[in-house]
Structure 1
Amino acid sequence: MLSDKGFNVHLVTITDTIGYAFKAHLLNLGLYKNKRNDFLNKMRRLQIVKTYLKVQEIDVVLDFRMRKSVLKELIVQKFLYRKAKPVYMVRSSNLDYYFPKSSRFTRKLFETKPICVLTEGIKTSIEDQFKLKNITVIPNAIDLKKYKENYAIPSPIERRYILASGRLVPGVKQFDKLIAAYAESELPQANIDLRILGVGETLDALKALAKKMGLEKQVVFEGFVKDPEPYVANALYTVLCSKFEGFPRVILESLACGTPVVATDCPTGPAEILDGTNGILVPHNDFKVLILAMNRLAFNEGLRKQFKASCRSSICKFEAAKISTRWQHYLNQVYELY
């Protein structure tokens, strides 16, 4: 998006894992990481980045790292960012990912620095918890032109299904609770499957849970799917019941495919996207109400059609052309903050 706006973009990855196409010059730090990942190796990689920033004459850094350690942040700010202008990105409502627990040290490290977040809710949380300022809200974007109105059903899928997507890691997406809710719903008896896209460390445990509930044939794990649009577009709906979020692209991508969403009102994101015309929002972690909503949307074809008719138009305000213009203005303002 930024490349299309004329910015000279460089992508620095910490791990040697590239899953998607991108428009940027790439510095893959994962190639320089040894098995021990010891202090000297970390300092070597830090020096590589510092040299890269200087040689490439990079002036603004969008910093997506997790920033829990005060000591590490002192090193990064004093050593790495002496010349560059960092913007500290916050992509989740779980602030423990992005700031040290000490409010005093967090204020000291970030009180004069620009911070960019996804939602007004995240902005308010940072202001309340750390008393920080210079916080700008720019949501995730979606390029609707890249999504077709119709996609062929992925072979060999023959039965109806609902869809969930995300990394299979403990405690975030709550896939275990989703499987339990699906088991209590009316969907299994109606031969409506639950298909899950994603990989992660809890995959085996989730498969075992589905088998324990007698649903090993109806809870289908598709693994990593590089182009998920056909799966999304042909689902009855997408379901999300995360413990917390930022501004979930899963919801944006589902609506872009014309597929409505059932989601819990977790902090933050779903409430900013689901407006009553494109899906059902239920109270956070209220799985009894979630089950009712899952049943309702699965068996009310008229409601699904009503939601589908509004899915794409409901997210026009997040269109990439509009969000990229906001980024352009913001990056120009960053110079004034330093």
Structure 2
Amino acid sequence: MDKKKICVVVNSLGGGGGAERSSALLTKMLDNLGYNVHIVSVLKDVDYEYAGSLLNLGELKEKDNSIKGRLNRFFIFKNYLKENQFDFIIDNRVRQSIIIELFTRRILYKNKNIIYVIRSRKITKYFTKSMFWGGKRIFRNAYAYVGVSEEIRDEISNSYKFKNVIKINNPVEIDDNNSSTEEGIDFTEDYILFYGRLSDEVKNVSLLIDAYKISQLPEENIKLLILGGDGKDKDMLKYKANSDNINFKPFTNNPFPYVKHARFCCLTSRYEGFPRVLIESLSVGTPPVLSVECSGVSEIVVNEYNGLIVENYNKQALAGAMNKFVLNKDLYTTCKQNSRLSIEHLSLLKVGEEWSNLLNEKR
């Protein structure tokens, strides 16, 4: 029996984002399950390991992004879908342009089994800002809509009234992440860690910096290490930090040695989907301290069991949580001991079974 052919469409396979890493993991998971996997990437960045055949439209975009170049990429994509006759197209892209998505849905995806993946609580990034066009015209009647958290799933169902809306969490490579911690790092001091894209309107690293400065950690000689790419707010955040206790390191596609050696990891986002920084931190035995009460967090972290959850936008509460993890040794040890066990249900094998069930449903 021939393998089912799956086309995974992504914005990119790199750039330091959790959504991109999750999309790359999806290709590996499907490949492990025996599917014939193809990837179409809109942008050229490839930082994360993936599985399958890659059509990198981003490389063509770099060479020619004129109107002619865009039309050329459109027809290359169209012909690629026609030649391969995929059983399913799993679209992980951010989808904000009504015009682009109208052409994509009516021409590229016409009469195809489309699965839309929604990886952020800011759902309008995935269904355009227009409820009418997004909910009633362009994206209706897909094979399935996959939200990566319960809150995202419920919001899609309630706001757009789509059928076949399900939740499948992001997976984590528990064994691979632990083996990846063996690389050395060029930072020898005691530290807490933030890693991710330096976009303050989403990640709110400013809050983390403010909370760290008023915490007891500087007095305890515990540094704040910020591991991120050249996001648009990098210079602003460096200026705001203005301290020898706060250090910046460039993006790396293997953050796990830094995660493993951190006292704990911090997440201060304004909104998320199903935060990779949490499950990756827990997978290598490093408990997280959080300032967020947003999508996905309560599905991952149980307060004072495998981490701490505090009120968002409250630097005093966040600083207090930092102090608590440093000064309360028993609490810290408990959370550290429970960390890896608490996310075993998110292994590639377990989450892969959920994807396999979806792709093999009798309709």
- Are positions 1:174 and 2:201 aligned together? no
Q: Which one of the candidate residues 252, 272, 276 is aligned to 1:225?
A: 252
CA contact 1:138–1:327 (8 Å) conserved in 2: yes
CA contact 1:176–1:206 (8 Å) conserved in 2: yes
- Are positions 1:202 and 2:233 aligned together? yes
Provide the C-alpha distance between the structure 2 equivalents of 1:64 and 1:147, rounded to a whole number of angstroms: 23
CA contact 1:266–1:285 (8 Å) conserved in 2: no
Deviation at 1:136, TM superposition (A): 1.1
CA contact 2:259–2:265 (8 Å) conserved in 1: yes
Secondary structure at the aligned position of 1:172 is classed as helix
Secondary structure at the aligned position of 1:189 is classed as coil
CA contact 1:241–1:266 (8 Å) conserved in 2: no
CA contact 1:153–1:234 (8 Å) conserved in 2: no
- Are positions 1:47 and 2:75 aligned together? yes
- Are positions 1:92 and 2:120 aligned together? yes
Aligned to 2:355: 327
Over residues 301-327 of structure 1, what are the superposed CA-to-partner deviations in whole Å (9 max), with x where a residue is unaligned?
222111111101111111211110110
The aligned amino acid for 1:234 is: H
- Are positions 1:133 and 2:160 aligned together? no
Provide the C-alpha distance between the structure 2 equivalents of 1:81 and 1:173, rounded to a whole number of angstroms: 33
Give the 5 Å matches for 1:158-307.
158-199=188-229, 200-211=231-242, 215=243, 217-276=244-303, 277-307=305-335
Aligned to 2:340: 312
The aligned amino acid for 1:3 is: D
Identity %: 35
CA contact 1:242–1:266 (8 Å) conserved in 2: no
Aligned to 1:7: 35
The aligned amino acid for 1:202 is: D
Q: TM-score, normalised by structure 2?
A: 0.86
Q: TM-score, normalised by structure 1?
A: 0.93
Deviation at 1:150, TM superposition (A): 10
Point out where structure 2 has 5 or more consecutive residues left out of the alignment.
1-28
CA contact 2:149–2:295 (8 Å) conserved in 1: yes
Aligned to 1:108: 137
Q: Which one of the candidate residues 47, 52, 59 is aligned to 1:31?
A: 59
Point out where structure 1 has 5 or more consecutive residues left out of the alignment.
none
Provide the C-alpha distance between the structure 1 equivalents of 2:258 and 2:106, rounded to a whole number of angstroms: 47
Provide the C-alpha distance between the structure 2 equivalents of 1:71 and 1:285, rounded to a whole number of angstroms: 36
Over residues 29-74 of structure 1, what are the superposed CA-to-partner deviations in whole Å (9 max), with x where a residue is unaligned?
0121156633332221111111111222222111112222222221
The aligned amino acid for 2:315 is: F
Q: 1:104 to 1:184 in 2, by over 3 A?
A: same
The aligned amino acid for 1:232 is: V
The aligned amino acid for 1:308 is: K
Provide the C-alpha distance between the structure 2 equivalents of 1:156 and 1:68, rounded to a whole number of angstroms: 40
The aligned amino acid for 2:81 is: L
Q: 1:5 to 1:313 in 2, by over 3 A?
A: same
Provide the C-alpha distance between the structure 2 equivalents of 1:38 and 1:198, rounded to a whole number of angstroms: 31
Aligned to 2:15: none
Q: CA RMSD in A?
A: 1.8
Secondary structure at the aligned position of 2:201 is classed as coil
CA contact 1:67–1:73 (8 Å) conserved in 2: yes
- Are positions 1:74 and 2:74 aligned together? no
Higher mean C-alpha displacement, 33-42 vs 106-115: 33-42
Provide the C-alpha distance between the structure 2 equivalents of 1:313 and 1:98, rounded to a whole number of angstroms: 32
Provide the C-alpha distance between the structure 2 equivalents of 1:95 and 1:60, rounded to a whole number of angstroms: 22
The aligned amino acid for 1:76 is: T
Secondary structure at the aligned position of 1:23 is classed as coil
Provide the C-alpha distance between the structure 2 equivalents of 1:8 and 1:173, rounded to a whole number of angstroms: 35
